[in-house]
Amino acid sequence: MKVLHESGLAPYHTFGIDVSAKYIVEASSVEDFLSIWQDEIYQAIPKLVVGQGSNLLFCEDYQGVIILNRIKGIDVVETAEYVDLHVGGGEDWHQFVAWTVDNGFNGLENLALIPGCVGSSPIQNIGAYGVELKDVCHYVDVLNVLTGESQRLMAEECNFGYRDSIFKHELKDSHIITAVGFRLAKDWQPQISYGPLAKFSLESVTAKEIFDEVCSVRCEKLPDPKEMGNAGSFFKNPIIGLASRDRLLSEFPNMPSYPVDSGHCKLAAGWLIDQCGLKGYQIGGAKVHPQQALVLTNTGNATALDVLHLAQYVVDTVAAKFDVALEHEVRFMAHDAETNLQEMLQ
């Protein structure tokens, strides 16, 4: 365990909002996490585990301890059918994906350039270009900080859903993800049905080509958090009933929609925001990205309140035009616990 002699959180979350924490510590092992939860200094105050802070908006100064997950390591076991990878929760996600591509372990290439750490990936069930974490996850290792016991949850026990999992609900306040197990089939089936990947041929495409294309598209459309603070996609793609979709299509025939099940479909939140003319819209130092309407950015001097007011304006404008409710994908943190847009602005 390493205690950092600083309190500013701007370097530890990709939005770069100027907020502080009471304490910031690094944990490099399961034992470190246990020590932090048992330490008298930290026992009575809130605790939040952070990887790279790529899906967080700190709405206020945090009156607790921020624990940076720095558990590292990648172990490989190969069988005739699979490559099994055991990966520490503190590993950088994109660097890990690039490593798998370089080593010929195919299956993660569609998930390139998603910011964050490996330990954060199951929480949101991250996904892109037709692949979700649940498609490649074999298990998740967790630490129950209330009992001190470690446990392995198989993928089917994680209740993965669209940007959702058990780690956002039942286990949110009691369990820490320490490692993730991936199972990649050697009989690789490329996923190229989504958008810019459709130009490739199933018979000849390589994982490296998919990886390079995903990186190129993401770099073109999405701002680099190191240059402009942001947390990636700010809103979830809304899921609505087919009757509501048909009603909207009668008025907006070019509206993209994607089937989810027999009674629901998913809309593109970025398209909805764009149709409201909100690209480039700004409140204070917070701005809707001019190229990607799904991303809210910190132009350099945004306050948390700027971002909150901009998010609410986007939600209200989309609701007024389409009668569709947007829900933020980014996690909102108040001074002592997770919160949401409605609670922060009530």
What is the per-residue pLDDT across 77-120, written as a single tens digit (0 to 9) for each? 999 999 999 999 999 999 999 999 999 999 999 999 998 999 99
**What pLDDT is recorded for position 260?**
87
**What pLDDT is recorded for position 13?**
94
Measured at the alpha carbon of residue 33, what is the angle toward residues 29 and 34, in degrees to the nearest 5?
110
Token pair 């490692």 is at which residue?
179
Mean pLDDT over 307-327 rounds to 98
**What pLDDT is recorded for position 134?**
97
Task: Residue 250: count other Cβ atoms within 10 Å of its Cβ.
Answer: 8
329 included as an active-site residue:
yes
pLDDT, greater one: 224 or 92: 92
Q: Give per-residue pLDDT as tens, 247-261.
A: 999 999 999 998 988
Closest CA relative to residue 229, chosen from 332, 304, 123, 333: 304
Q: How far apart are CA 151 and CA 86, in angstroms?
A: 14
**What pLDDT is recorded for position 162?**
86
**What pLDDT is recorded for position 163?**
87
Q: Give per-residue pLDDT as tens, 10-69.
A: 999 999 999 999 999 999 999 999 999 999 999 999 999 999 998 899 999 999 999 999
Active-site option among 70, 163, 245, 331: 163
60 included as an active-site residue:
no
Mean pLDDT over 225-241 rounds to 93
**What pLDDT is recorded for position 216?**
95
Which amino acid does the sequence have at 298? N
> How much of the chain exceeds pLDDT 90, in percent?
90
State the DSSP code for 292.
-
Active-site option among 165, 233, 245, 257: 233
pLDDT exceeds cutoff 90 at 275: yes
247 included as an active-site residue:
no
How far does Cα 247 stand from its chain's mean position? 31
**Residue 162 exposed, middle or buried by CB count within 10 Å (0-12, 13-18, 19+):** middle
pLDDT exceeds cutoff 90 at 1: no
Where residue 6 falls among pLDDT bands split at 50, 70, 90? confident
Active-site option among 209, 327, 329, 338: 329
pLDDT exceeds cutoff 90 at 222: no
